[in-house]
Amino acid sequence: MSDCGAPEQSLDLPVGTSITDQAILQGKVLNGPDPVAGAFVRLLDGTGEFTAEVVSSSAGDFRFYAAPGSWTVRALSRVGNGQASVQAVLGVSPVDVLVG
Amino acid sequence: MSREASLVTTEWAEQNLSTPGVVFVEVDEDTTAYDGGHLAGAVKVNWKTELQDPVRRDFIDRVGFEKLLSAKGISDEDTVVLYGGNNNWFAAYAYWYFTLYGHQDVKLIDGGRKKWELDGRALVTDTPDRVETTYTAKEQDTSIRALRDEVVAAIGNQNLVDVRSPDEFSGKLFAPAHLPQEAAQRAGHIPTAVNVPWSKAANEDGTFRSDAELTDLYADVDDSRNTIAYCRIGERSSHTWFVLTEILGKKNVKNYDGSWTEYGSLVGVPVETGA
């Protein structure tokens, strides 16, 4: 987890997204303070099994629709790889991944 | 088939971008990815608007496929080299789809867009200006496509391979975790199906695992029986169909493109939940 607060207000959920029955994991891929665009962000479940993958946006943002529980978010990029663990709850769970 | 006949490396692709008779085709889940940059000379195929019938839930018909490929400037003799994002899910789907309509020479770039980008290879935004062709497709090869009734009849009689993530298989999730959780009416899996997630066949960089690893992974698939692979909408199971048929050379493997979005909404069919 990054020590900088993920600016959730910049990660606006799509209109109509339910946050009462989904566990949404979202955050940024960061290289130091800089967002990393185009990183391959992989969601691994509690056993390390691959669950999903997205590409970070131009602002380094990513989002997964998961379920409550333990997850690992791993990012691959040209500047390096990194990962972070997160305990997801219903609603939005913020998590940033540091690479490099 | 074999790995050599059906896969090319990113190095090979880069060296053959302008080789006559080789057409690179990008097919992505994110249908805007191509517009932001693609392999030089590559054409785009939109899996949603171009490969699906706009009204019914089915593929475009043979004549529609002929019109599409003619307009893209692809001829019957061309080597079609497919690649895409998200670990080649939709490129593998297109590979299966092109094979369904009888295209003779199709290949997949091992690792797809991800490997290409992690390699730091060039992307361009110019779109190619290919001359229209007169493409002739074959009738669908139904030996590689499973439909609903055949899948129901296969319960307990054929190998059913559910290639979704364990949480989708068990019924915890309805869809891959990067998509909103909306899809079929019911969550779970087809009784007697085994769960071999497509992702186990791929390395982290999107390339396929080695022949030995893949052979081990599918060791429980009984070769004496026919096999049907499915996922949610048929794209991840195309990835597994590719591994079983094109890399491992197994026979009698079908892809069920209706997959869970169809099966999980059928009235009256059996559904199992749990691992």
What domains can be seen in chain A, in order of their start residue? 8-98 (2.60.40.10)
Please confirm, yes or no, whether B254 is among the known catalytic residues.
no
The residue from B231, B233, B248, B253 that is catalytic is B231
Asked if residue B167 lies in contact with residue B187, where contact means CB atoms within 8 angstroms, the answer is no
Q: Which residue of A55, A56, A57, A58 is the best one to mutate when testing the B interface, meaning the one whose CB has the most B CBs within 10 A? A: A55
The minimal CB distance from A45 to the residues B87, B167, B181 is found for: B167
Residues of A with Cβ-Cβ distance to B165 under 8 angstroms: 45, 49-52
Asked if residue B230 lies in contact with residue B260, where contact means CB atoms within 8 angstroms, the answer is yes
- Mean pLDDT, range B144-171, rounded to an integer: 95
Instruction: Tell me how far apart the alpha carbons of residues B272 and B221 are, in angstroms, rounded to a whole number.
Output: 20
The confidence band for A15, taking pLDDT boundaries of 50, 70 and 90, is low
Residues of A with Cβ-Cβ distance to B181 under 8 angstroms: 21-22, 65
Residues of B with Cβ-Cβ distance to A54 under 8 angstroms: 178
Asked if the Cβ–Cβ distance from B178 to A22 is below 8 Å, we say: no
DSSP string, B107-172: EEETTHHHHHHHTT---B-PPP-PPP----PPPP-GGGB--HHHHHHHTTTSEEEE-S-HHHHHTS
Higher pLDDT, B72 or A12: B72
B36 interface with A at CB cutoff 8 Å: no
Asked if residue B130 lies in contact with residue B72, where contact means CB atoms within 8 angstroms, the answer is yes
Asked if the Cβ–Cβ distance from A51 to B114 is below 8 Å, we say: no
B180 interface with A at CB cutoff 8 Å: yes
> What is the interface size between A and B, counted as CB pairs within 8 Å?
60
Q: Which pLDDT tens digit goes with each residue over B224-272? A: 999 999 999 999 999 999 999 999 999 899 999 999 999 999 999 999 9
CA distance B120 to chain A (A): 7
Q: Which pLDDT tens digit goes with each residue over B104-136? A: 999 999 999 999 999 999 999 999 999 999 999
Nearest CA in chain A to B196: A49
Q: Which pLDDT tens digit goes with each residue over B165-211? A: 888 999 988 877 776 665 788 999 999 999 999 999 999 999 999 99
Give the per-residue pLDDT at B7.
98
Instruction: Tell me how far apart the alpha carbons of residues A64 and A59 are, in angstroms, rounded to a whole number.
Output: 16
What domains can be seen in chain B, in order of their start residue? 3-140 (3.40.250.10), 143-263 (3.40.250.10)
Instruction: Tell me how far apart the alpha carbons of residues B275 and B264 are, in angstroms, rounded to a whole number.
Output: 17
